[in-house]
């Protein structure tokens, strides 16, 4: 699935990935969907001035395992941020809710533990068609949005840690459609 960056292409110019090293974790479960999310994230990084050599791209068996892998990447001193990409579809049981809750809580805890942004790029859809629409289809690409969030949050935390008295509002955070 190819990425659809038209909605967010102007946002890439508002942020800079230049000099950042970002880990991307791509779940292998619902591979077609996650490959589309990953393509979008990579395109967004490159379009924001990032260097392809500064992407550490790894795979996860499923969305549940994203947490451990995200923590391992975020603990590396050469990684500035992580983008976790997956897809969980609603089934006949409540299993999807337990997975999504665990992943969301796990990723935020890893962010708190490491102090590094970990973007939540996990689709939580009812149908595979909804997921396709959000992985480079008619609804855009949540992989692009997750990468923009990771870059923006990284730049903001860098400014704060550098002692900046005023951190400029980031155009990505202000104007994005959700």
124-155 pLDDT, tens digit per residue, is: 999 999 999 999 999 999 999 999 999 999 99
pLDDT over 70, % of the chain: 85
What does residue 73 show for φ and ψ, rounded to 5 degrees? -65, -45
Asked whether residue 10 is assigned to any structural domain, the reply reads: no
Asked whether residue 11 is assigned to any structural domain, the reply reads: no
Coil, strand or helix: which one is 172? Answer: helix
pLDDT score at 151: 98
Q: How many domains does the chain have?
A: 1
Give the H/E segment covering residue 107: helix 95-114
Asked whether residue 148 is assigned to any structural domain, the reply reads: yes
The question of whether 148 is a catalytic residue gets the answer no
Task: Band the pLDDT of 37: cuts 50, 70, 90.
Answer: very high
pLDDT score at 40: 98
Per DSSP (E only), the strands in the chain are 22-27, 55-60, 81-89, 118-125, 135-137, 140-141
Token digits of residue 167: 């951190």
Q: Which of 25, 81, 17 is nearest to 57 (CA)?
A: 25
| Residue 70, domain CATH | 3.40.50.960
Task: Band the pLDDT of 10: cuts 50, 70, 90.
Answer: very low
Spatial contact of 140 and 134, defined as CB atoms under 8 Å apart? yes
pLDDT score at 164: 76
Annotated catalytic residue, options 11, 59, 95, 148: 95
Task: List pLDDT tens digits, range 63-78.
Answer: 999 999 999 999 999 9
pLDDT, the chain, mean: 89
Asked whether residue 42 is assigned to any structural domain, the reply reads: yes
Spatial contact of 115 and 157, defined as CB atoms under 8 Å apart? yes
Q: Which of 105, 119, 108, 112 is nearest to 20 (CA)?
A: 119
Task: List pLDDT tens digits, range 70-119.
Answer: 999 999 999 999 999 999 999 889 999 999 999 999 999 999 999 999 99
pLDDT score at 25: 98
β-pairing, 22-27 vs 55-60, is parallel
In the predicted structure, residue 123 carries a pLDDT above the cut 70: yes
Range of the domain at 148: 16-175
Asked whether residue 37 is assigned to any structural domain, the reply reads: yes
Asked whether residue 3 is assigned to any structural domain, the reply reads: no
Task: Band the pLDDT of 158: cuts 50, 70, 90.
Answer: very high
Residue 86 DSSP label: E
Asked whether residue 4 is assigned to any structural domain, the reply reads: no
Asked whether residue 25 is assigned to any structural domain, the reply reads: yes
Query: What pTM was computed for the model?
Result: 0.86
Count other Cβ atoms within 10 Å, centred on residue 54: 18
pLDDT score at 168: 61
């Amino acid at each position: 699935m190819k990425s659809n960056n038209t909605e967010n292409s102007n946002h890439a110019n508002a942020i800079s990935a230049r000099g950042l090293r970002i880990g991307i974790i791509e779940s292998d479960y619902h591979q077609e969907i996650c490959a589309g999310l990953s393509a979008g994230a990579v395109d967004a990084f490159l379009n924001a001035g990032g260097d392809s050599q500064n992407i550490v791209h790894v795979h996860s068996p499923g969305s549940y395992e994203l947490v451990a892998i995200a923590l391992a990447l975020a603990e590396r001193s050469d990684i500035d941020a992580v983008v976790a990409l997956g897809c969980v579809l609603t089934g006949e049981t409540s299993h999807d809710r337990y997975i999504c809750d665990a992943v969301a809580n796990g990723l935020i805890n890893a962010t708190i533990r490491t102090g590094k942004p970990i973007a939540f790029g996990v689709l939580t859809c009812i149908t595979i068609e909804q997921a396709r629409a959000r992985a480079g289809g008619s609804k855009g690409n949540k992989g692009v949005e997750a990468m923009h969030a990771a870059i923006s949050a990284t730049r903001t935390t860098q400014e704060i840690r550098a002692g900046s008295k005023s951190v400029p509002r980031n155009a990505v955070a202000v104007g994005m459609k959700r």
